[in-house]
A and B are shown apart, each in its own frame.
Chain A
Amino acid sequence: SQTIHQWPATLVQPVGSPLSLECTVEGTSNPNLYWYRQAAGRGLQLLFYSVGIGQISSEVPQNLSASRPQDRQFILSSKKLLLSDSGFYLCAWTWGSDEKLFFGSGTQLSVL
Chain B
Amino acid sequence: QKEVEQDPGPLSVPEGAIVSLNCTYSNSAFQYFMWYRQYSRKGPELLMYTYSSGNKEDGRFTAQVDKSSKYISLFIRDSQPSDSATYLCALTRGNNRLAFGKGNQVVVIP
Where the two chains meet, the residues of A that have a C-beta atom closer than 8 Å to any C-beta of B are 6, 32, 41-44, 46, 49, 88, 90, 92, 94, 97, 99-106, 108
Query: Are A44 and B88 in touch, CB under 8 angstroms?
Result: yes
With beta carbons under 8 angstroms apart, the residue of A32, A102, A103, A105 that contacts B96 is A32
Distance A4 CA – B32 CA, assembled complex (angstroms): 23
**What number of residue pairs across chains A and B have CB atoms under 8 A from each other?**
50
Chain B contact residue count (CB 8 A cutoff): 22
Query: Are B90 and A90 in touch, CB under 8 angstroms?
Result: no
The reply to whether the CB of B76 lies closer than 8 angstroms to some CB of chain A is no
Cβ of B98: which chain A residues have Cβ within 8 Å of it? Answer: 46, 99, 101
Query: Are B43 and A103 in touch, CB under 8 angstroms?
Result: yes
Distance (whole angstroms) from the CB of B11 to the closest CB of chain A: 16
Distance (whole angstroms) from the CB of B72 to the closest CB of chain A: 14
Given the known interface contacts A99-B92, A100-B34, the answer about A49 and B97 at a Cβ–Cβ threshold of 8 Å is: yes
Whose C-beta in chain B lies nearest to the C-beta of A108? B41
User: Contact string, B73-106, partner A, CB cutoff 8 A, digits 1/0?
Assistant: 0000000000000001010101011101111000
Distance A36 CA – B44 CA, assembled complex (angstroms): 11
Cβ of B8: which chain A residues have Cβ within 8 Å of it? Answer: 41
Whose C-beta in chain B lies nearest to the C-beta of A106? B43
Whose C-beta in chain B lies nearest to the C-beta of A45? B100
Query: Are A106 and B41 in touch, CB under 8 angstroms?
Result: yes
List 4 tightest A-B contacts by C-beta distance, closest first: A103-B43, A43-B102, A44-B100, A99-B32
Distance A88 CA – B90 CA, assembled complex (angstroms): 18
Given the known interface contacts A99-B92, A100-B34, A103-B43, the answer about A46 and B97 at a Cβ–Cβ threshold of 8 Å is: yes
7 A-B residue pairs with CB within 8 Å: A6-B43, A90-B44, A94-B96, A100-B46, A105-B42, A106-B42, A106-B43
Query: Are A42 and B32 in touch, CB under 8 angstroms?
Result: no
Distance (whole angstroms) from the CB of A98 to the closest CB of chain B: 9
Whose C-beta in chain B lies nearest to the C-beta of A94? B96
Cβ of A88: which chain B residues have Cβ within 8 Å of it? Answer: 41
Cβ of A46: which chain B residues have Cβ within 8 Å of it? Answer: 97-98
Distance A70 CA – B44 CA, assembled complex (angstroms): 25
